[in-house]
Amino acid sequence: MFIRQTKTRGSIKGDSYFTYRLVASERVGSQVRQKTLLNLGSNFPLAKEKWPALCTCIERHWSGQKALVLESAEIEKLAAMYAGRLIAASPAPVSPSGEPLCDYQEVDTNSLELSRPRSVGVEHVGLSAMSWLGFEDILSSVGMNRPQRMSAIGSIIGRMALPASEDATYAWLKQNTSLGELLEFDFEAMSAMRLYRASDQLIRKRELIEKALFSRIEDMFSLETTVTLYDLTNTYFEGDVSGNGKAKNGHSKEKRTDCPLVTLGVILDGSGFIRRSKMFEGNVSESTTLEGMLKELNAPKGALVIMDRGIATEKNIIWLKEHEYRYLVVSRERNRQFDETQSVETLTAQEDTIKLQKVLSEDGQEVRLYCYSEGREKKEAAITGRFAQRFETGLAKIGESLTKPHGEKKVDKITERLGRLKQKCRGIAQHYEIELTKDGSGKLVTAIAWQKVPKNGTAVTHPGIYCLRSNETSWDEAKLWHTYTMLTDLESVLRSLKSELGLRPIFHHKEERAEGHLFITVLAYQFVQVIRRKLKSHGNKLGWTSLRNILSVQQRVTATFRQKDGRTLNIRKATKAERDLQDIYTALGISATPGGIKKMAV
């Protein structure tokens, strides 16, 4: 066994470089031929004078021999990795019918050693979802070669298995996963730059990939894309972002006012799959993005657009009407009203009662749906009650300070204190009439009095009520409300992107790389949604975090035995799927032994 160095030339730039192979000599008849055992790639890290020691060490690890004297840590680590790859690359013995053969061996059970545990569960179901949708074919159709496709798939599966930065994904691909075995691709010999360049390729072909992928999702689940949900979320950066023109300080939904942000806009269909995504500047106004996204999507006329009050400005609603879209949105109107005698009832998914009052506009072109929830009433009443108590306590403290000999009594200072108190109590002050009693000079306050006078049409007088508006005037109350609740699915999508799939934070300082991070997360979500939708049809409604915990238990390991004839038998296979994992595999219709069985005797 030895290492061969070969000089070659790149096909694109024409520059020369070296590739490395692990080679062994074998006799075929009367001739001795050299056989390539492993392609070590072009990033082989070891100095040439250490190659013989490495080859000797690989043979020792491969055959399961004990070492009298260990080589350096660097050589031992490489030898264990390459020996493991030799075993993983060995063919599985099968019968002419393709079934695994029975294989009885006499071994020393005391010699058993287990090595190279690598995760396989998430990788197996992730690749299955990709194969159902022909994702590799999509990548090939946009011009990505096999190393680029494998790198992109590695990034996406890595995001599903270990939500983290691209650096963490690279380390995971090299050290923790059997994904390379399943794909027959050597991630351990891959440079980190290849992973980043694959991200760049995905962004350059983003629109084509999103369109083709969603088209196949439509075909797979027979979706009707008549409903469009739109929302935005933002994510913050860690580190320097001087190379990203879209990184801006804005309103952070994570309260990270110390970090610049970028914003991700997503358009979904009614089943929860993402049709289009786009990165915006961190300080973008939600209300200004809708028109551009729908135009880029070429959303069909007549599609129903559902969005929350942050985007549902009067300007956007007028634009939707002019372009013949239907809409169902949360009204931005502040005045609340509700007539229980004119309402009907419907049930939520949790069997709670919702009361609905439908009011048609005078011209008959728009409908308002006033909704009342007892649970929402309790929540809002508790919130307003807490702020009212805080406000009255603050007023009482101001009153007490006026009775103290050295307390502040100047009108302008008391007015400042009132202003700060009103700001802290979030609008509750509008329900109070406050009177300041001044001395003869008019410069000092001698007393303060207040009276609570709730304003009609607010959360204080009408807790638990909110309003929807739509130009879908023919629908009844229940259909309007249940259709609007699809927006909660969109909110769960955004939560999944952020918490389950590592959308936050971003560590890249280049704009294209930051956008790649977001797009990889979006693609990972699509495959997670495919898996969850298939499982849901079999009664499994677990979220991705719970599913990932079950899947991550299964590993591929190498078992090494000493045989009676003195040879070493290496067997590599996946651990047995436990009950919950077996149920997932059965529901998805995939094998419970990912990667099959690999055997090698030396």
Reported as type and span, the H/E element at residue 40 is strand 31-41
Residue 11's pLDDT band (boundaries 50, 70, 90)? low
Mean pLDDT computed over every residue of the chain: 86
pLDDT for position 286? 66
Q: In this model, does residue 93 exceed pLDDT 60?
A: no
Q: In this model, does residue 362 exceed pLDDT 70?
A: yes
Tens digit of each residue's pLDDT (9 = 90 or more) over 197-214: 999 999 999 999 999 999
Q: Which residue has the higher pLDDT, 351 or 582?
A: 582
Average pLDDT, stretch 174-201? 92
Q: Is 277 exposed, middle or buried (0-12, 13-18, 19+ CB in 10 A)?
A: buried
Contacts 24+ apart (CB under 8 A), 27-30: none
Residue 225's pLDDT band (boundaries 50, 70, 90)? low
Residue 32's pLDDT band (boundaries 50, 70, 90)? confident
- Phi-psi group of 143: left, alpha or beta (phi > 0 → left; psi -120 to 50 → alpha; rest → beta): left
Q: Which residue has the higher pLDDT, 16 or 450?
A: 450
Tens digit of each residue's pLDDT (9 = 90 or more) over 454-506: 999 999 999 999 999 999 999 999 999 988 887 776 667 777 777 778 776 77
Q: Which residue has the higher pLDDT, 253 or 332?
A: 332
Q: Whose CA is closest to 572, among 110, 183, 181, 63?
A: 181
pTM (predicted TM-score): 0.73
Q: In this model, does residue 337 exceed pLDDT 60?
A: yes
- Our CA angle for 422, 313, 324, nearest 5°, is 165
Alpha-carbon span 443 to 410, nearest angstrom: 6
Relative orientation angle of helices 579-588 and 544-551, to the nearest 10 degrees: 110
Between strands 326-330 and 304-307, the pairing is parallel
Q: Is 291 exposed, middle or buried (0-12, 13-18, 19+ CB in 10 A)?
A: middle
Q: Strand (E) positions, 374-500?
A: 432-438, 445-452, 465-470
Average pLDDT, stretch 501-512? 77
The region of weakest confidence among 110-114, 276-280, 462-466 is 276-280
pLDDT for position 252? 66
Alpha-carbon span 369 to 470, nearest angstrom: 8
Residue 177's pLDDT band (boundaries 50, 70, 90)? very high
Hey, which residues does 34 pair with through a beta bridge? 25
